Amino acid sequence: MPKRDEGPLADRATYRAFHMVSTRWADNDQYGHINNAKFYEFVDSAVNAHLLIADALDESIGLVVDSGCRYASALKFPDVIEVGIKVDQIGTSSVRYGFAVFRRGTAVPAAIGHFVHVYVDAETRRPKPLPDKLRAVVENLRAE
């Protein structure tokens, strides 16, 4: 059965920030490519690095409550990866992030996906409104 042309997986220009990741030998699995679970580690590190650099994390903790990833091509060590991040939706205590994982210098992502953080109080683990500083940072990541 012929494949239906679905067009490009994602437009690189829609991602508002990029974080570089150097892969390691240990990221490859027995099949010779980077294991799918590593993609989530790369994305989690990219988003949290962005928030830490912006000094936007305080006593709130972002818990992942939903995630998904669609893979288009394999990556392997020693590829250098660029993780593109954007924000698709902002709620009272939650943020839905979109991401794309690119081999450095390429326009077509190897994977795209999303995850939702619900920000909670560090002690009670109950949802709390996004602090103003965090809200301002994620607003700047909002997809156009």
% residues pLDDT > 90 (the chain): 79
Please check whether residue 5 lies inside any domain of the structure.
no
pLDDT confidence bin for 60, thresholds 50/70/90: confident
- At residue 131, does pLDDT exceed 80? yes
Higher pLDDT, 1 or 104: 104
Collapse the DSSP code of 132 into the 3-class scheme (helix H, G, I; strand E, B; otherwise coil) and give the result: helix
Task: Identify whether 89 is part of a domain.
Answer: yes
Domain containing 47 — which CATH number? 3.10.129.10
Would you tell me how many other CB atoms lie within 10 Å of the CB of residue 70? 11
Domain count, the chain: 1
Q: According to the model, what pLDDT value does residue 58 have?
A: 77
Return the pLDDT at 8. 54
Whether 7 maps to a domain, the answer reads no
Judged against a pLDDT cut of 60, whether residue 124 lies above it is answered with yes
Residue 110, domain member (yes or no): yes
Any domain includes 70: yes
pLDDT of residue 122: 85
Q: What angle do the packed helices 132-140 and 36-53 form, to 10 degrees? A: 120
Q: What is the DSSP letter of 100?
A: E
Pick the range with the lowest mean pLDDT from 7-21, 44-58, 88-102, 111-125: 7-21
Residue type, 144: E
Domain that holds residue 28: 14-140
Assigned domain for 42 exists: yes
Residue 2 in domain = no
Residue 28: inside a domain: yes
SS3 content of the chain, % helix, strand, coil (to 5): 25, 40, 40
